[in-house]
Amino acid sequence: MESVFEIIAEPNRRAILSLLVSSQQSVGEIERQLRMTQPTVSKHLRVLREAGFVESTVDAQRRLYRLKPESLQEVDAWLAPFRRFWSAHVDALERHLDRMDQSTPTKRKRRRRRRGPNRERDKSE
């Protein structure tokens, strides 16, 4: 179980991470919200902990798990070149459409121009 990518390949582990993004949770809470058996949760949490995705603190018999950013940032970093790739493509498309606008003027609204080079765009919101 080497890379961070194999870790987040598992759907239940991604679900756990998504749960923890809002606030820390105990094993039992995760178990109930995600409808997984307790050993399954514990096992996934062990994997996540050893891979640096989460950390835990003790609270009586409970253990509270919370996110640690580093490992997911690794994934984010790997994506960087590809982000450059696809924003370059959007740029090319927009330039092309701009040229279309100029050569064949229609009733369409004027297409907005690019704002600044390679600004990160967040598809998810």
Partner DNA sequence: CCTAAATATACCTTGACACGTATATGCTCT
Partner DNA sequence: AGAGCATATACGTGTCAAGGTATATTTAGG
Q: Is residue 97 at the binding interface for a second copy, with CB under 8 A as the rule?
A: no
Which residues 51-110 are close enough to bind DNA by CB under 7 A?
56, 58, 60-63
Query: Which CB atom, from 36 or from 72, has the smaller least distance to DNA?
Result: 36
Please report how close the Cβ of residue 71 comes to a second copy at its closest, in angstroms: 10
Q: Lay out the sheet containing 25-26: strands in order across.
A: 25-26, 62-67, 54-59
Pairing of strands 54-59, 25-26: unpaired
Tell which one of 61, 82, 103, 107 touches a second copy (CB under 8 A). 82
User: What is the DSSP code (8-state) at residue 112?
Assistant: P
> 75: closest CA among 65, 66, 83?
83
Task: Report yes or no: 83 and 12 within 8 Å, Cβ to Cβ.
Answer: no
Phi, psi of 10 (to 5 degrees): -80, 125
Note whether 124 binds a second copy by CB under 8 A: yes
Q: Where along the sequence are the contacts to a second copy (CB under 8 A)? A: 3, 5-6, 8-9, 11, 14, 17-18, 21, 67, 69, 72-73, 75-83, 85-86, 89, 120, 122-125
